[in-house]
Copies of this chain bind each other. A is one copy, B any other.
Amino acid sequence: MSRSRLEAFSDGVIAVAITLLVLDIHVPAPDTGSLGHELARQWPQYAAYVVSFVTIGIIWVNHHWMISRLAQTDRTILLLNLLLLLCIGLLPFGTSLMAEYLRADQGQSLAAAIYAGLLLLMSIAFATLNRHILFHKAHLLSEPIPEARRRQILFRGVVGLVPYVLATALAPVSADITLIICASVAIFYTLPIASGGADPA
């Protein structure tokens, strides 16, 4: 099975999910008070939009790399990819939840934990698919990758889980810290240092 429709479908789901994020930014009703005040009050929505947009964007870049190594796909790859898309598809909900509750009187910790937990889940799904491709489906790769390089790619994917584990675990302490960690991860992956050579995955 060729990889082109896998890419097309994944691109579609990721593009829709990333664009739906904007629906979480509400236009204040004209009669609720000064527009400036109302827009300022909902800053968590802008912060969450940017963090989620960049995070999904980076996942897309990495997905691009991961799949481009394949000459072909098979059923298991399609299903693991579906699992990854299922997690990405939940992010507009997680983002909205985080943005709505970051300044609420209750529920901040739970909302932050769910948000970071969804990012963690997405990263685990990504690492699982990557591991499956690199170690179980090496015969489908378009060109062989040395064992050491494969271990290195996987290792970096697993290291990438650590900040999300932290962000989830620290949510009961402070929802702000959780958001700051998630934002830092997004910023980190946009820095040149994160690419660590030719392959950023």
Contacts and interface: CB of A to CB of B under 8 A. Distances in A.
Interface of A: 1-2, 5, 7-9, 11-23, 25, 27, 30, 34-36, 39, 49-50, 53-54, 57-58, 60-61, 64-65, 68, 75-76, 78-79, 82, 85-86, 89-90, 92-93, 96-97, 100-101, 104-107, 110-111, 114, 190, 192, 195, 200
A85 B56 CA distance: 12
Contacts of A20: 16, 19-20, 22-23
Given A19-B89, A20-B19, A93-B22, A30 B100 contact: yes
B200 A22 contact: no
Contacts of A14: 9, 12
Contacts of A58: 82
21 contacts: A1-B68, A5-B68, A12-B12, A12-B14, A15-B15, A16-B19, A16-B20, A19-B20, A19-B89, A21-B89, A22-B93, A23-B23, A25-B90, A27-B96, A30-B101, A34-B106, A35-B106, A35-B107, A36-B110, A57-B86, A58-B82
A93 B25 contact: yes
